[in-house]
A and B are shown apart, each in its own frame.
Chain A
Amino acid sequence: MDTLMTPTTFTPVEAVVGGLLVALSATLLMLSLGRIAGISGMLARATAMTPGPRAWPLAFLLAMILAAGVTFWFTPLSFPLREGFSPAWLVAGGLLVGYGTAMGSGCTSGHGVCGMARLSRRSIVATLVFMLTALVTVFVVRHFIGAGA
């Protein structure tokens, strides 16, 4: 189970640079299209689960995936991939994240970054709730149940 709990080190410079890239992205999307950079919302639009134009959300998401892949595979910024993580957990987690972000109208980007930046009361509440739930979940799984995940 050790491989599933690989500790990572504090990387403040990378964290600040990455945070600035996300801030620049959100700012440019607001400047150009007047839209919130919320991944769950864009994914729902791009896959026609919610109505509206599909081209721009699809372009954002495809460019995001491509740029992440290029950054990971062709720069020294890659990280060791997790091994042995159960597909059943991934499916359970994916269902919860998909259902929950659709129900709560947003995720880490829409509520956590853009909504917090707007000082939206809904987003501040949503962010506190999903952060707290995730902290408790990790605590229970790692220190109470003692599972490697």
Chain B
Amino acid sequence: MIRVIWAAIAGALFGAGLVVSGLANPNKVLGFLDLAGAWDPSLLVMMGTAVIGTGIGFRLVWRRQSPLCDREYHVPSARSVDQRLVTGAVLFGLGWGLTGYCPGPALTALVIHPSEGVWFVGALLAGAAIRYRQTRH
């Protein structure tokens, strides 16, 4: 139960951050990605702040032997840059650039802008399901 409460607190902060920063607004995302247009650098500032803040935060946390509610940290151990990683990132970047939605903002669109959110999230789940089905056997 305590794990669920921690996750909900973290999730709430994340969701507020998406709206406050403007990442939840696909117009702002596309404005940020449009270097040749009326470029809006806000999300560069947002991502820079998030990366530096998280970098400092993680290093402070990792001074502890283990997290509060688990025996160990679950940090991805894969090291190799392979074709799946790169191809996956290309496909993701294509879909992001076409719509202005990455997964977090897309989920928030379910309540902020449902007429877009339901289409995108339905397809997002289908796309992920297709991929996981392919790799299962």
Q: Which residues of A contact B (CB under 8 A)?
A: 5-12, 14-37, 39-40, 43-44, 47, 49-50, 55-57, 59-73, 77-82, 85, 87, 89-105, 107-109, 111-122, 125-127, 129-139, 141-143, 149
Asked if B102 and A108 make an inter-chain contact with CB atoms under 8 angstroms apart, the answer reads yes
Chain A residues near B124: list those with CB within 8 A. Answer: 43, 94-95, 97-98
Asked if B89 and A68 make an inter-chain contact with CB atoms under 8 angstroms apart, the answer reads no
The verdict on A63 contacting B9 (CB below 8 Å), with A12-B45, A96-B91 known, is: yes
Chain A residues near B60: list those with CB within 8 A. Answer: 27
Contacts A12-B42, A66-B12, A119-B55 known; 4 new A-B pairs at CB < 8 A: A7-B40, A28-B6, A32-B7, A63-B9
Asked if A65 and B110 make an inter-chain contact with CB atoms under 8 angstroms apart, the answer reads yes
Identify A90's interface contact among B50, B76, B116, B127, CB under 8 A: B116
Q: Which residues of B contact A (CB under 8 A)?
A: 3-28, 30-31, 33-38, 40-43, 45-58, 60-62, 64, 66-70, 72-76, 78-81, 84-104, 106-108, 110-113, 116, 119-132
In Å, the complex CA distance between A19 and B48 comes to 8
Chain B residue nearest to A131 in the complex (CB): B93
Chain B residues near A122: list those with CB within 8 A. Answer: 76, 78-81, 85
Asked if A8 and B13 make an inter-chain contact with CB atoms under 8 angstroms apart, the answer reads no
Chain A residues near B5: list those with CB within 8 A. Answer: 59
Main secondary structure of the interface of A (DSSP, over half): helix
The verdict on A39 contacting B68 (CB below 8 Å), with A63-B8, A68-B15, A102-B132 known, is: no
Selected A-B contacts with CB under 8 Å, 30 pairs:
A8-B27, A10-B41, A15-B43, A18-B20, A18-B49, A20-B50, A21-B17, A22-B14, A23-B56, A32-B68, A33-B67, A33-B70, A37-B10, A40-B128, A67-B15, A68-B112, A69-B112, A71-B15, A79-B24, A82-B26, A87-B119, A93-B101, A94-B126, A95-B126, A97-B103, A98-B128, A99-B127, A102-B127, A116-B55, A118-B55
| Top-5 shortest CB links A-B | A104-B88, A18-B21, A98-B127, A23-B53, A94-B123
Cβ of B19 to closest chain A Cβ, rounded Å: 4
Asked if B14 and A99 make an inter-chain contact with CB atoms under 8 angstroms apart, the answer reads no
Chain B residues near A11: list those with CB within 8 A. Answer: 22, 42
Identify B34's interface contact among A14, A15, A56, A139, CB under 8 A: A139
Chain A residues near B37: list those with CB within 8 A. Answer: 5, 7, 142-143
